[in-house]
Amino acid sequence: MPNRAEKLEWDDARASPARAELVDAALAIAGEAGLDAVSIRRLAGRMGLRTMSVYTHVASKDDLLALMFERISAELIVPTPLPRDGRELLRLIAQRAFDAYLAHPWMLHAFGRRPATGPNQLRRAEQSATAVKSLGIETAKAWTALSIVHEWTMGHALHAVTLREDTALNERLHATDATNYPNAAQALKGAQVRPAQAIFEEALDGVLDGIEKRFGPHADPDDRA
């Protein structure tokens, strides 16, 4: 019973065992050649199938993409027992996401599409909400605080991946016209040496500082850092 046209069955086992292998193969293609290389025909070829047979197990390419996303989202979940400290948990969550994005850059290109809301994504949301709660942030602002961490992590990973994959861009940036854009050129020069992971950790601390300061208990909204 592969699928009605209704909702996506997230559980591979409940859908069909073959579907899991399909997602495996799709992930392999994406890892080797990028998300654009994941086509139904190529996927069929790799599985020894004939293009249209893929649709026996997957309703559409969108669904396939959602399943790929959900699969990798398992890597985003922090293993229990979770640390008591909310800040520490939040840091772990962000770190896992950042690592996953660097390991599977295609995820970043998939964010704009039909957003996935599989069980793993929900589990992650639960962990995140738990962390924010234990920071003493009130419910009304919890989601805002959360989104700062998540969205910044994604943005930072996208930036890092773009620079990693486009060395030409990197050179171009560091040859920025220092006459017309003095401050930009200077900032870019200063950014050159440091590894992405170090920058991430440092910036993450900055982001967490801001969250605790502005959304945490005893926060003074009018205060400046």
Partner DNA sequence: CAGGATGCCGTACACCGTAGCGCATGAGCG
Partner DNA sequence: CGCTCATGCGCTACGGTGTACGGCATCCTG
Where in 50-69 is the site for DNA (CB under 7 A)? 50-53, 55-57, 60-62
Minimum CB separation of residue 117 from DNA in Å reads: 19
Token reading at 151:
């969205």
Minimum CB separation of residue 43 from DNA in Å reads: 8
Residue 187's binding partner among DNA, its own copies, none (Cβ under 5 to 8 angstroms by kind) is: its own copies
- Angle subtended at Cα 95 by Cα 76 and Cα 198, rounded to the nearest 5 degrees: 155
Contact 196, 156 (CB under 8 A): no
Minimum CB separation of residue 3 from its own copies in Å reads: 18
Minimum CB separation of residue 36 from DNA in Å reads: 8
Which of 61, 214 has the CB closer to DNA?
Answer: 61
Residue 60 in the binding site for its own copies (CB under 8 A): no
Q: Which range in 46-54, 146-154, 181-189, 207-215 contacts DNA by CB under 7 A?
A: 46-54
Minimum CB separation of residue 47 from DNA in Å reads: 8
Residue with tokens 């793993």: 120
Which residues contact DNA by CB under 7 A? 1-2, 16, 18, 38-42, 49-53, 55-57, 60-62
